[in-house]
A = this chain, B = another copy of it.
Amino acid sequence: MERVSYAEAVRRGLAEEMRRDPLVWALGEDLSRAHGSTSSTQYCGLIDEFGPKRVVDTPISESTIMGAAVGAALAGTRPVAELRNVDFGLCAIDELVNQAAKIRYMFGGQARVPLVTRQGLGLKRSLGSQHTQSNEVWFVHTPGLVVVAPATPGDGRGLLKASIRCDDPVVFLEHKELWATEGDVDFSDDGIVPLGRARTVTSGTDLTLVVWSRMAIVAEHAATQLSALGVSAEVIDLRTLWPWDREAVFRSVRKTGRLLVAQESVLVGGFANEVAAEVSERLHNTLVAPVRRLGAPRIPMPYSPPLEDECRIECRHVVEAALSLVQNDRSRKETT
């Protein structure tokens, strides 16, 4: 076991895959050079080991970063297309959604598109409206894509490796506030984390708390606080958003009878609705209370810290919602 940051764990995961398979390569803006911001350390030093043909500094051409990755995947390589932020990823979403996601199907299975696109997700203090979005549900809604959003260094490494080995396009979402977080990783083994499998963060009996990405860290803290208040929460970190681990969630809800889904992204139209709607429909009789969802208000992210805090889902929101759920609090009445 080694204690490493998330950024370092995924960096080494990528290096391991590049060593294993000479067809794996990475492309994106400013990959090869050290940089002041943590968001670049995940490629640090790779150019020295793998050279400029496999760690490619590209022009500022997002459409072509993604389009080239698709073409390169069709031509038998396994590109990792770094987009830095889902926000910049919007400049390449046509190539991802209209090409990468559809080609295997559209061409009747003649080809696969084994690409991974890495995109920074979500909030980091005061980056403003154009650098903090979370649009994971867009990708979940798009047939052909696999969607991954790991929360820990070990899962970051293990799921990146699994994503690179996947024969279909994977959107690999790395929350920007996770880069600096640390965890123990065992680099002596392969460390592959299978796609589509959730992680039970804490076991519990009173309610199920479904989360992903940075919210898994928040939920873990919330579970500790809840436990001190006598509430036993089972925290499930989905890790993969498509396909999400329905079995794990259903199993847990059958045990607890209550479900809270908490996301950082805007609640309206978000991924929490997917989990909530599935559970509400399929486990209607099992639920002892209606499924609760937490998510950001439908507001572009503001810059000033106190305003930003208005729009963030934090530990206390999760604790409050969980408490009201177990107390079957009906203060939020069925009228509007």
Residues of A whose CB lies within 8 Å of any CB of B are: 87, 90-91, 93-94, 97-98, 101-102, 105-106, 128-130, 133, 135, 137-138, 140-144, 242, 246-247, 250, 265-266, 268-274, 276-277, 280-286, 289-293, 298-300, 302, 332, 334, 336
Contact = CB atoms under 8 A, between A and B. Distances in A.
Tallying the copies of this chain within the complex gives 2
Contacts of A274: 268-269, 273
A315 B104 CA distance: 30
Contacts of A283: 334
Contacts of A300: 101-102, 105-106, 143-144
Contact of A143 (B128, B272, B291, B299): B299
Contact of A336 (B250, B270, B290): B250
A298 B168 CA distance: 15
Given A90-B94, A137-B137, 17 more contacts: A90-B98, A93-B93, A93-B94, A106-B128, A106-B300, A137-B141, A138-B269, A140-B269, A142-B266, A143-B266, A268-B274, A269-B271, A282-B332, A282-B334, A282-B336, A283-B334, A284-B289
Nearest to A332: B282
